[in-house]
Amino acid sequence: MSSIAQAVAIEVEGVPLSATAMVAGQQLVLNGAGFHKRGYFKANATALYLPEKRTSLDAINKLSGPKRIAIHVLREIPGSTISRYFLNDFKLVATDAEFRNLINEVASVGAIYSALPRVRKGDVVLIDWVPGKGLIVTYNGNPMEQGLFTPYLTTPNSELLYQIFLRIYAGAAIPEELQRNLLGQSVSMTNQTEH
């Protein structure tokens, strides 16, 4: 078995996900994974990588070190639609005060997604938090540089923005089954592999 095959921990909707990820020179572990639906369609497989496993958003936010949200696209979607999804999701989980404080950062994220003509099945978006550097978004391995991202978002609010990304992808506003899978409380959305 190859080292790549050995590194695969689980599969979500046919997407193999590694047991670990390297961010800023630190090895992270797969906390959990699941699929996100938009309407009737499965839009993406999402994986959460952390320095250590945690089972609540509060514990994840208190955890020091880098973090990664990995989004594996399951169907073709226009970039403008993704930008609209992000804005709607952000408004759903952020307070009015957070939205006002992060208006420039939100505009930059919207510009990143709008700059993509469309995403296709198999594309990968990584949203990484790196303490001391900030927030970086990569698309198929290339840093997305738009607005305040050059390539890192280094504003004083970048950590708050990452916490809101965590709420969007693993918070109480998402379906309970997906949240439990990302928080490592369930594996109902995954296929486990044996090594």
| Site of tokens 């979607």 | 77
Q: Are strands 77-78 and 67-73 parallel, antiparallel or unpaired?
A: unpaired
What is the pTM (predicted TM-score) of this model?
Answer: 0.92
Residue 171 CA: distances (Å) to CA of 38, 119, 154: 16, 24, 24
- Rounded Cα distance between 130 and 65, Å, is 7
Give the distance, in angstroms, between the CA of residue 44 and the centroid of all CA atoms in the same chain. 10
Domains delineated in the chain: 3-188 (3.50.70.10)
From first to last of its 195 residues, the chain has per-residue pLDDT tens of 334 444 667 999 999 999 999 999 999 999 999 999 988 899 999 999 999 999 999 999 999 999 999 999 999 999 889 889 999 999 999 999 999 999 999 999 988 888 888 999 999 999 999 999 999 999 999 999 888 999 999 999 999 999 999 999 999 899 999 999 999 999 999 986 544
The token pair at 101 is 């404080």
Cα atoms in the Cβ-side hemisphere of radius 13 Å centred on 24: 18
